[in-house]
A and B are shown apart, each in its own frame.
Chain A
């Protein structure tokens, strides 16, 4: 039996050593979507405000609305979406393997993900940063007081690396407790295993307002220790589908800039004389044909979900349970970072 074990090791080692490259060919996501009749969207397993399902199975959230807009633009119907909940580890494999067409799961755009995980960043839909949440009774006022403390974090995210960088830069010697699942990390924080919980600030707000027994018992510390541009990602190698997703999102942002809302899109389509509005809604130029979509692609999207501002307000805005301010997610001419490339 010993010899057979050694043989097993030898075979495994030899198999790993034979890596040979072979020619490649591109895939056609759009054809697959049209054939299946639905867009498969990878979303979060349960992050209120971004991607969460209620007990009846209805999905809501900012990322979910982006998916619906993409489906409306591509197929004309925002309900033709299949939502696949993915945790942090599975999301890239699911995207790479073709299990989902677009990954709309509050994913940060980084170089490593673009270059080595087989995915491509599209457009940032939410500019965020990583922060810390602590219980009020700990009386911690700043992240710099976390010297030598335990912090709960979810594995498989940029959060882990940022925490290490911050700890090193400020000589804090933070001890991370790394959990595989989001719920385990949150639970560990709520039971008091760790003194702090770290993730993107929007995730902190969502966790605090939706999962804490008493939201007022927890406070989000003021420091944002990293840049986290969140947005949907698509598979590498399919430029056609990449263009569709990218320009749908730009269309939503530009719609807000030019005042097209869910309520007035029909009337504007019929009566507007503004050339920019006419181009976006497809009444003058057929930009949809260039993308391989119908003429009303943007009009359908805006009708289904509203413009970017409306999506923001509905899901994470000041009046929603999360209560996040527009901040840097405002239009470029209002002091924010949302700068849509011209849809023309």
Chain B
């Protein structure tokens, strides 16, 4: 027989914690709503007085300005939102490459702090302390000054084979787009599936027989083989667009501008020093007994790092590593000071041409929020896979 729960008594006096909680929340909501309404009211009044127009309709209008470098061609007659899209691709371009390079460099430096060799240890320590303690904007500007001062003028570019390096940037031969490349891309996608199948098979084999299979070289081989097969099936195009010395600069070919190189270099070196510290903290957090047990089992230092320390350290490393990835993406917004057309720079131009300050700045903030959200989601998924399952 279910006697039922006792009747709920609502105690409306100040002595009840629940009541106090409700009162606090009402006060907080009222205060914040009041402040937000006050700010919004002022904004609208001011905009009306000054004749500033508002609304997002400007996004459909023609942009009227060119963009110096972009992943794909942009014509000045296309709309503002197209320009913003180019800005976003520019930001992602430098962020993704920067994250990959910084992780590699940072891990090497972090592991290097535990090296047997005192010189290597000292170098890693010097690097980390030096690059951590100088503001990132200063580093970006320094690299830009160094690149534009040290590199020769475009008319006297350094040439190595078909590559040119000058103040105009790094010019390289770029394949002319044909169906072969498309098929190669399909091949790469197909190879991911094959690699996944291979890894499953390798893991099952290892658990059954104890025989380890190559975890890196065979997948790499599969990747290369599939892309070559795809390229061959697509007609095996070999035509390349070579850069040539023009009258004042290098023409044709693909180019990486000095702005892109400076931003990439500055961000990579800066973030790598932070990632090195994170990796060091992660490895230091693994109990010393693990390392000792590994050498008792006869693993050399390389194997010990790779098989015992790093996998355990990963759980401690991943949340702060996520932070550093987000920081790198956000620091790429400083490229506006150098002349790299990322999304902040495009928003700046749009803001000045249309006067819609609120809209442009909110677009920028929205872009970064979405990027942060995406990166956090990805790293949270990876973290939950690597997390220690607590009791």
Contacts and interface: CB of A to CB of B under 8 A. Distances in A.
**Chains A, B in direct contact (C-beta < 8 Å):** yes
Contacts of B41: 22
A175 interface: yes
The A contact surface, by secondary structure, is: mixed
A27 interface: yes
A184 B339 contact: yes
Interface residues of A, number: 65
Interface stretch (A36-44, A158-166, A258-266): A158-166
Contact of B68 (A24, A138, A177): A177
Given A8-B369, A9-B370, A89-B348, A193 B50 contact: no
A168 B63 CA distance: 13
Given A18-B40, A237-B49, A188 B249 contact: no
Contacts of A193: 148, 167-168, 258
A105 interface: no
Nearest to A148: B251
Interface in B63-106: 64-69, 76-77
Contacts of A174: 66
A12 B369 contact: yes
Nearest to A114: B51
B130 interface: no
A112 B50 contact: no
A192 B52 contact: no
Interface stretch (B7-15, B197-205, B267-275, B351-359): B351-359
A23 to B, nearest CB: 8
A126 to B, nearest CB: 21
A164 B66 contact: yes
A148 to B, nearest CB: 6
Residue among B55, B67, B353, B372 with the highest chain A CB neighbour number at 10 A: B353
A155 interface: yes
A5 to B, nearest CB: 5
A56 interface: no
Nearest to A93: B357
B336 interface: yes
A156 B352 contact: yes
B75 to A, nearest CB: 8
A20 B41 CA distance: 9
A198 to B, nearest CB: 12
B45 A22 contact: yes
B76 A12 contact: no
B353 to A, nearest CB: 7
B377 interface: yes
Interface in A88-113: 88-89, 92-93, 96-97, 112-113
Interface string A139-161: 01000000011101001110011
Residue among B55, B153, B246 with the highest chain A CB neighbour number at 10 A: B153
Contacts of A303: none
B295 interface: no
Contacts of B45: 22, 24
A303 B48 CA distance: 39
Given A89-B352, A149-B249, A25 B377 contact: no
18 contacts: A5-B376, A12-B369, A15-B40, A16-B359, A22-B45, A27-B49, A97-B46, A118-B49, A148-B251, A149-B248, A149-B249, A175-B68, A184-B337, A188-B148, A191-B167, A236-B49, A237-B49, A237-B50
Closest 7 pairs between A and B when the two form their complex, measured CB to CB: A118-B50, A156-B352, A117-B355, A164-B76, A24-B49, A24-B48, A179-B339
